[in-house]
Amino acid sequence: TPTGALDPAALDEALTTLADRPGTPLVAATAGTTDAGLIDPLDDIADVCATHTARLHIDAAYGAGLLFSDARKHLVHGIHRADTVTLDLHKLGWQPAAAGLLAVREPTDLTALTHSADYLNADDDTEAGLPDLLGRSLRTTRRPDILKIAVTLKALGRQGLGALVDHVCDRAPELAALIDKHPRLELHATPTIS
């Protein structure tokens, strides 16, 4: 669309042209682009995917934090219909940069994590009692950062994180207005999220 969001009608047309090809199409929608915070019409896109039996992945790396906010979660309505969703809690979750998550509807979507490679899954390491990190993270041998996420959720809860999200989103238009009025600054875009 002219706004930069994925157009469901154009998607329907594209998937119609793929109907005779083998395989299952994969559609990637966005819930919060990094540069402008744009959110695709997720429910409409999910409807198109259902019509064409296409898989839906939603890149919600930025926008998933809106789910914490009662006032803003409607902006990502339809995210629950995705087959897979990515989110980076370092954006609207106040976590370290490595705290990215992949959520899947079907556990079979994680079968790639069970892949065994001799140089990564050394039998002698396992026999020596060393932890096998390969199947615990998409980052293979790097440790998962779930403890930091769990502690934040336990300490702040959804409401506490929602209050932080609301505060940041409420302040964004104020900052944009100050930038817009400043003679030596140029506002790139009005904030969609934060």
Ordered per-residue pLDDT tens for the chain, 194 residues: 667 889 999 999 999 999 889 999 999 999 998 888 899 999 999 999 999 999 999 999 999 999 999 999 999 999 999 999 999 888 888 888 878 888 999 988 888 766 666 666 666 666 777 666 665 555 665 666 678 888 999 999 999 999 999 999 999 999 999 999 999 999 988 899 99
Inside any domain, residue 139: no
pTM higher than the cut 0.85: no
Cβ-count burial 143-168 (b if 16+ within 10 Å, e if not): eebeebbeebeeebeeeebbebbbeb
Cα torsion for 145, 149, 152, 153, to the nearest 10°?
A: -160
36: containing domain: 8-99+145-181
Model pLDDT, residue 53: 95
Inside any domain, residue 106: no
Q: What is the CATH number of the domain that holds 18?
A: 3.40.640.10
Inside any domain, residue 193: no
Inside any domain, residue 86: yes
Model pLDDT, residue 117: 65
Residues in the chain: 194
Model pLDDT, residue 11: 97
28 in Cβ contact with 57 (< 8 Å): yes
Inside any domain, residue 41: yes
Model pLDDT, residue 189: 86
Model pLDDT, residue 135: 58
Inside any domain, residue 127: no
Model pLDDT, residue 1: 62
Cβ-count burial 60-77 (b if 16+ within 10 Å, e if not): bbbbbbbbbbeebbebbb
- The domain tally of the chain equals 1
